Chains A and B, each alone.
Chain A
Amino acid sequence: MKSFWFIKSISSCILIALVVSCAPHTYKKASVTTVYEQPIQSYFFSKDSVHYFKTSIDTYGKSLSGILAVRRLNVDTLKVSFFTEVGVTFFDAIVTHDSYQLIRCIPQLDSKGVMNTIIEDIRWVVLFNLNQLTDPVLIKTSDPAPIVRSNYQDVFIFTELSKDNLPLLVTYVYGSKFKSKFDIRYDSFENSIPNKIFVRHYNIDLKIDLTAISFSQ
């Protein structure tokens, strides 16, 4: 009987742990305080027009790695190129805030679902859509870093900010349950520039790790 109680307790603990770990990431209980009036800053394109990232993509047990190059043509347009370390191109694309055009793409990546996701992630990684955010409000939190909720199309973007108003964590939140679709974490700062960027998706098995690199010319 004693051992039955013990097994039952252990099972309950495991079950609770599973439920907690499987609970969807949600901002449903986040309550807003005041309008946030300071503009959110960006790490990218102020000094350099092109940024390069050593990039690895892991999805459902498969991996892809290469170099991601992102050039800002103007405030509304990016050129994006992704190629292997050895130099074979995966895809080239022209990206705007709400659309993109594939200039070329290997057959294995050339599907709407795959490319929509990759392009959307790239837009947020380089904070290309910051000027598309509206109605920023401060979230009530015990965390010293301010968290700002902004509207973007029909979703919310939650941004945890540094004291310089630079994003530390960007979370894309959708639906009435305020579920996180993905988040982007900026890390390993050097001269206030993130050397590492981590993208994590919650509704699909997809993670992207980027390391900033600089090519000598």
Chain B
Amino acid sequence: MKKYIFIAAAVFTVVLSSWLTQTDPYVAMKDVAGFKTKLNQKNQTITTLSCDFVQEKSLSFMAQKVISKGIMKYKKPDMMKLEYTTPFQYIMALYKGKVIIKDNGKVSKYDSKSNKVFKYVNDLMIHAVQGNVADSKEFTIVYKENSKTYLMEMTPAEATMKEYLSKVLVTVSKTDLGVLKVEMTEKSGDYTLITFVNRVYNTALKDEEFLVH
């Protein structure tokens, strides 16, 4: 179970460094170095982030799509909270090296450094938080762009991650360099698309807001 929690955490953490949409065709990015620099500069200006998210999960096997919604909060350097509110309640928080889950009223805590998977994901999170996702060694990344957005096509390089995900697409706005959506595709072809809306940067968030009781 811990592994899945951390894979989920990793995917969400990728989100913290950039933002996007997919309307016109993507072509190879012309200035990858410039994009990385801008992304790093943008992330250095971010101290907190709050937004709503909409998650769409395709179930090809069931011929269904399911949609859930929630709230995300992030605070530098190492706090993040994902709170699903509809149609179920579920909280996953990253708090100073701990992963905290609240499900069905029960709170579980895990140390993110207690095993290899934890450490791997923790490292990924640190990269993401510091704006270094674009330099991540855990993924091979193809950079693309269209008129409105940048697209990072991230393919897992690490064996554990490969077991579950074939690709992660991160779409970044050219307007404000914020991450607009993240799409993670499983080996089966099923995908989970998370769209971030109502993004608000650098409002005061207390550490206590990331604790889960």
| Residue positions of A touching B, CB distance < 8 A | 50, 52, 54, 56, 62-65, 67, 69, 71, 79, 81, 83-90, 92, 103-104, 106-108, 209, 211, 213-217
Within the complex, what minimum Cβ distance (angstroms) separates A156 from chain B?
Answer: 31
Residues A88 and B8 in contact in the complex (CB < 8 Å), given A56-B104, A214-B87: yes
Contact with A along B1-12 (1 / 0, CB 8 A): 101100110011
Question: In the complex the two chains form, is B192's CB within 8 Å of A86's CB?
Answer: yes
Chain A: interface secondary structure? strand
Contact (Cβ within 8 A) B104 A215: no
Whole-angstrom distance between the Cβ of A11 and the nearest chain B Cβ: 35
Nearest first, the 7 closest Cβ-Cβ pairs linking A and B are: A87-B192, A86-B8, A215-B66, A87-B57, A92-B61, A54-B88, A213-B87
| A62-B1, A65-B104, A216-B67 given; A81·B61 CB < 8 A | yes
- Please judge, given known A-B contacts A62-B1, A85-B84, A85-B88, whether A67 and B66 are in contact too, CB under 8 Å: yes
Q: Do the beta carbons of B64 and A69 come within 8 Å of each other?
A: yes
Residues 155-175 of B at the A interface (beta carbon under 8 Å): 163-165
Which of B87, B103, B108: most chain A CB closer than 10 A?
B87
Give A188 Cβ to nearest chain B Cβ, in Å: 13
CA distance A62 to B2 in the complex (A): 10
Q: Determine which residue in A52, A81, A108 has the highest number of CB atoms from chain B within 10 A of its CB, and name it.
A: A81
User: Roughly how many angstroms separate A56 CA and B186 CA in the complex, as a whole number?
Assistant: 23
CB-nearest residue of chain A to B164: A88
Q: From residue 20 to 73 of chain B, which have CB atoms closer than 8 A to chain A?
A: 55, 57, 59, 61-62, 64-68
Q: Is the CB of B103 within 8 A of A50?
A: no
CA distance A153 to B88 in the complex (A): 37
How far apart sit A85 and B70, CA to CA, in the bound complex (Å)? 11
Which residues of the other chain, B, contact A84 by a CB distance below 8 angstroms? 4, 8
Known contacts A64-B1, A216-B87; A87/B61 CB under 8 A: no
Among B55, B62, B163, find the residue whose CB has the most chain A CB atoms closer than 10 A.
Answer: B62
Given known pairs A89-B190, A213-B87, A216-B87, the reply for A65 and B103 (CB within 8 Å) is yes
> CB < 8 Å: which of A50, A63, A88, A107 contacts B62?
A50
The verdict on A69 contacting B12 (CB below 8 Å), with A63-B1, A87-B192, A215-B67 known, is no
Given contact pairs A69-B66, A216-B87, A86 touches B11 in the complex (Cβ within 8 A): yes
15 contacts between A and B (CB under 8 A): A63-B106, A63-B108, A67-B66, A71-B62, A84-B4, A84-B8, A85-B68, A85-B84, A86-B192, A87-B8, A88-B4, A89-B188, A90-B4, A108-B3, A214-B87
Whether the pair B64, A50 counts as a contact (CB closer than 8 A) is yes
Known contacts A85-B88, A85-B90, A89-B188; decide if A79 and B4 are in contact (CB<8 Å): no
Q: Is B184 an interface residue (CB 8 A)?
A: yes
A214 vs B7: C-alpha distance when bound (angstroms):
25
Which residues of the other chain, A, contact B186 by a CB distance below 8 angstroms? 88-89
The chain B residue sitting closest to A65, CB to CB, is B103
Inter-chain contact A87/B1, CB cutoff 8 Å: no
Q: Which residues of A contact B59 (CB under 8 A)?
A: 69, 81, 83
- Knowing that A84-B4, A85-B84 touch, tell me 18 more A-B residue pairs with CB under 8 angstroms: A56-B103, A56-B104, A62-B1, A63-B106, A65-B104, A67-B66, A71-B62, A81-B59, A85-B90, A88-B4, A89-B186, A89-B190, A90-B4, A92-B61, A213-B88, A215-B66, A215-B68, A217-B65
